[in-house]
A and B are shown apart, each in its own frame.
Chain A
Amino acid sequence: MATKLIYFAWVRERIGKPEEDVELPAGIETVADLLRWLKSRGEEYENALQFPDVIRVAINQEQVGHREKIAGAREIALFPPMTGG
């Protein structure tokens, strides 16, 4: 099953696209696994996810920690710390 990844702000700019559908390989269980795998997909991902600790993640539009399991996620968003208000 394909998972939709969405990127915002400088994460989007560095990866070079606002969203994509990916087939997650076996063994990608948590948000941290996902970030590690994505980072290995090319220079633009490496550039965007160089410091994974600062990346905020939302699963199905709700913010989660990096240890969260991603099984069943329809939509996973990656973005920098928010600066609204």
Chain B
Amino acid sequence: MPGAVRPTVRIEAQDFDVAAEIAGLTKGRADIGAVVTFSGLCRDEQGALSALELEHYPGMAEAEIGRIAAEAIERWPLQGLTVIHRHGRIAPGENIVLVVAASAHRHAAFEAANFLMDYLKSRAPFWKKEHHADGSEGGWVEAKEADDEAASRWTTKPAD
């Protein structure tokens, strides 16, 4: 029953343990056949970046990701869903975001994770500011049109 799945959504400053999050979804269950995990990390842009600063809108970030997660659960037959987004200062190589989608079969898990990431990029209230390795002031990362396009492709229902 898709309605029975409750997504786990966490917005936090501290790092997460990818393996522990997967285990948290699958432990003690025999009905899950597929787990798709996406984790987004901070790049150093060929050494140019010393950190990313992630600003967020407390309250709305949780609410918006909750709405996106609920939509994914409605669209695909998922058996579990975890979304974690970090905020604050994040160094190159560190985790920023995690999506774990569990389902009986791989198709739903792949699609749901993809959907979640496309929507997180353009709808979750987070903003990235760059800190340069040479100490100069970095700017705010500009939103990419490609991200909006990626999100808009989900507005037509997927073929089964």
Residue numbers of A with Cβ under 8 A of B are 6, 8-10, 58, 61-63, 77, 79-85
- Provide the residues of chain B in CB contact with A62, threshold 8 Å: 60, 63-64
- Provide the residues of chain B in CB contact with A6, threshold 8 Å: 57
How far is A84 from B90 in the complex, measured between Cα atoms in Å?
A: 13
* Closest beta carbon of chain B to A5's beta carbon, Å: 13
Contact A8 B125 (CB under 8 A): yes
Which of B24-32, B72-80, B114-122 has 4 or more CB atoms under 8 Å from chain A? Answer: B114-122
Contact A81 B59 (CB under 8 A): no
User: Interface of chain B, helix or strand or loop or mixed?
Assistant: mixed
* Closest beta carbon of chain A to B71's beta carbon, Å: 14
Name the residue on B nearest A56 (C-beta). B125
Of all A-B residue pairs in the complex, the 8 with the closest CB atoms, nearest first, are A84-B126, A81-B143, A9-B127, A61-B60, A85-B121, A85-B120, A84-B124, A83-B141
Contact A84 B127 (CB under 8 A): yes
How far is A58 from B117 in the complex, measured between Cα atoms in Å?
A: 21
Q: List 13 A-B contacts (CB under 8 A).
A: A9-B55, A9-B127, A9-B140, A61-B64, A79-B125, A79-B127, A80-B127, A82-B123, A83-B121, A83-B128, A83-B143, A84-B127, A85-B117
Residue numbers of B with Cβ under 8 A of A are 40, 54-57, 59-60, 63-64, 85, 96-97, 117, 120-129, 140-143, 147
Contact A61 B127 (CB under 8 A): no
Contact B85 A84 (CB under 8 A): yes
Name the residue on A nearest B86 (C-beta). A84
How far is A80 from B129 in the complex, measured between Cα atoms in Å?
A: 12
Q: Name the residue in B56, B63, B64, B125 with the highest tally of chain A Cβ atoms < 10 Å from its Cβ.
A: B125
* Closest beta carbon of chain B to A48's beta carbon, Å: 12
* Closest beta carbon of chain A to B146's beta carbon, Å: 12
How far is A11 from B42 in the complex, measured between Cα atoms in Å?
A: 24
Contact A80 B140 (CB under 8 A): yes
How far is A77 from B61 in the complex, measured between Cα atoms in Å?
A: 12
Q: Name the residue in A58, A61, A63, A80 with the highest tally of chain B Cβ atoms < 10 Å from its Cβ.
A: A61
Name the residue on B nearest A9 (C-beta). B127
- Provide the residues of chain B in CB contact with A61, threshold 8 Å: 57, 59-60, 63-64
Contact A83 B97 (CB under 8 A): no
